[in-house]
Amino acid sequence: MLDRISKIPLYIIASVLFGLKAYILYRFIFNISLENFMQEIILFINPFVSAFLFFAIGVWFKEKRQMKFLRYGALIGSIILYVNLIFYRNFTDFLTLPVLFQGSNAGDLGSSILSLVHIPDLLLFLDVVIIWYLSKKSSSMLSIEYPKRKKVLVLNLSIAFLLGNYILAEIERPQLLQRSFDREYLVKNLGIFNFHLYDVAMQTRTSSQKVFADGTEIPDIQSYVHENVTSDEKSDLFGIAEDKNVIFISLESVQSFVINNTVNGEEVTPFLNDLIDDSYYFENFYHQTEQGKTSDSEFLVDNSLYPLSSGAVFFTHGQNEYNAMPEILKEKDYYSSVFHANNKSFWNRDVMYDTLGYDHFYDEDAYQITDQNSIGWGLKDKPYFEQSMKYLQSLPQPFYSKFITLTNHHPFELSEEDASIEPYDSNSKTLNQYFPTVRYTDEAVEEFFEELKQSGLYEDSIIVLMGDHYGISDFHNRAMSQYLDKEEITPYDHIQLQRVPFYIHIPGHEGEVISKIAGQIDVKPTLLHLLGVDTSDDISFGTDLFTEDRKEFVALRDGSFITDDYIYTKDQCFDRQSGELLSEATTAIGQNQQDSNECEPFVEDVQKELSYSDQIIYGDLFRFYDFDDE
């Protein structure tokens, strides 16, 4: 057997083994959707193309260095694949360069990372062991000494394979490289390694935008915002909460599917269910975060700008100029603060909060944290709210204070004495444990409301509650379909699962359930209008949710969007009410894809709006704009 193998150069063996491993990972581990046979073919060939392109470099080395290159190349490539796998299990996404620069967050992940590591993952390094063994045992037989002419031929052949892969991908999905917001498309068609190279090129290009920006981009953006986003209309609630305190509660990983729902016959969120009756509750409110997760939700709320498609704005552009809500409220004599019992540098908050204009950040140093009152990511929500009260009562009024909960965070750990409902029973430990931690957060918020009433702050405040992002990724679709009693989770269902609860509780108001579509981008103008602040001269992309004259769509960062009638995602257009697939992009070879007919009128506007927001952030355009003069 070894004699037969010895007739095949090791770089070809390595290419086949590594390509096969990558294909298995793409096809059966990553939840990559495939709509047609052409996509199946492209997904199959691209890992082998990438592997051959890399390992073929080995022919340019002498025997000893050739073997060393193949050994360590296979090891490093496998590590890159595995890190992507770990990241994907939690975020259903692929690593990007800005995320790597957020490595300072990794030290705080703790059990969250450990829960994503599985023993069978060792099989991912099986080919490395084989390559290592062969390179040591039969290096003289498996190495190659080509003349320069043949080395150039191998190089040209690898480049030809790459171009062939790209041509097929372009036939299947024209303008593929213009879809940088959709990482799944890029990985599906080009592979993880080519995606990473593309990502580096894109980040290099975007990092130069600030250098060359001069402010001439602002008039076009301002014109778009004033014509398509902002409105001169004022709702009946404009100024209804003038001079009141604003208490904003960010509900970690709480999705709308738990509201008014049960598990094992028990209500998951009894207090949040009851709170709907005397609050303005938006039942079709979507989170719009991307890789920055909680920090992205904070960015959306305070700025009414979209997060970036890659990385977290809090890290990549933490020292830009913004016109954030704390800065605007400061002009109305509001004192602003954030309460979060975590490391102040996590998500670069200590820097970004100063940039946004917050007066004080109560981080983990402000709390008494012990082994008894903490679990998972840190201080449990009940002692967190309890310990926060003394600080909240000491603040000058009026204040804008944001609370960020922690307990309902992946991997959703909770001690038995704190769990008041039983876990769910499915093949997903993550989903099973999710329900008890959501209930714990629900109970913590209820206790916080009681403490606000006892302190005398309740009547002088409006209380806003918002889920920050999803908690259950589509990596757990099988279990989720079981819980929701569905045959499968379709792309339509996936978008609907991006709904998060959003409450505006104004003591003394009966409130109502509002069914119109809404998103986190709308929070800033909505709250400012309730406080009587005119935002007509602001440059942002949200609208007051209490006005009738509102933007027609809610855009998600991956280019998907929701309108009153339609949901558009992955080139498919669905009826929003029924979930019926209305149309999808064509995929025939040689035929240009067209956007789905019913959704087509909105596609260009969504892309334009996302692009304008990116221009503001990448170019740091607000440094050229004086909001005080408006």
Return the active site residues.
Answer: 294
Structure tokens, 457: 């702050």
> CB under 8 Å to 102, separation ≥6 — which residues?
311, 312, 315, 347, 348
Are residues 434 and 411 in contact, defined by beta-carbon separation less than 8 angstroms? no
**What per-residue string of b and e applies to 295-324 under the rule 16 or more CB within 10 Å gives b?**
bbbbbbbbbbbbbbbbbbbbbbbbebbbbb
Are residues 327 and 349 in contact, defined by beta-carbon separation less than 8 angstroms? no
Structure tokens, 133: 């063994």
Tell me if residue 337 falls in helix, strand or coil.
Answer: strand
Structure tokens, 463: 């209380």
Torsion 227-229-230-233 (CA) sign? positive
Task: Tell me the DSSP string of 193-220.
Answer: HHHHHHHHHHHHHHHTHHHH--STTHHH
Give CB contacts under 8 A, 24+ apart, made by 73-76: 73/14, 74/14, 74/17, 74/18, 74/127, 74/128, 74/131, 74/132, 75/125, 75/128, 75/132
Name the DSSP letter for residue 499.
B
From CA 193, how far away is CA 174, in angstroms rounded?
A: 21
For 152-296, strand residue ranges (E) read 245-251, 262-263, 266-267, 280-282, 285-286
- Classify burial at 223, counting beta carbons within 10 Å of its beta carbon; exposed 0-12, middle 13-18, buried 19 or more: exposed
Please report, as a single letter, which amino acid is at residue 106: A
Structure tokens, 320: 């830009």
Structure tokens, 19: 């390509």
Residues in the chain: 630
The alpha carbon of residue 516 and the mean position of all alpha carbons in its chain are separated, in whole angstroms, by 23
Are residues 506 and 326 in contact, defined by beta-carbon separation less than 8 angstroms? no
Sheet holding 335-339, edge to edge: 360-362, 335-339, 399-404, 245-251, 461-467, 502-505, 280-282, 512-514
Name the DSSP letter for residue 423.
P
From CA 21, how far away is CA 8, in angstroms rounded?
A: 19
> CB under 8 Å to 613, separation ≥6 — which residues?
305, 306, 541
For 377-521, strand residue ranges (E) read 378-379, 399-404, 461-467, 502-505, 512-514, 518-519
> CB under 8 Å to 327, separation ≥6 — which residues?
356, 357
Structure tokens, 502: 């959003």
Helices (H) and strands (E) in the chain, counts: 24, 19
> CB under 8 Å to 519, separation ≥6 — which residues?
285, 286, 287, 288, 300, 542, 554, 555
| Residue 512 burial (CB count, 10 A) | 12
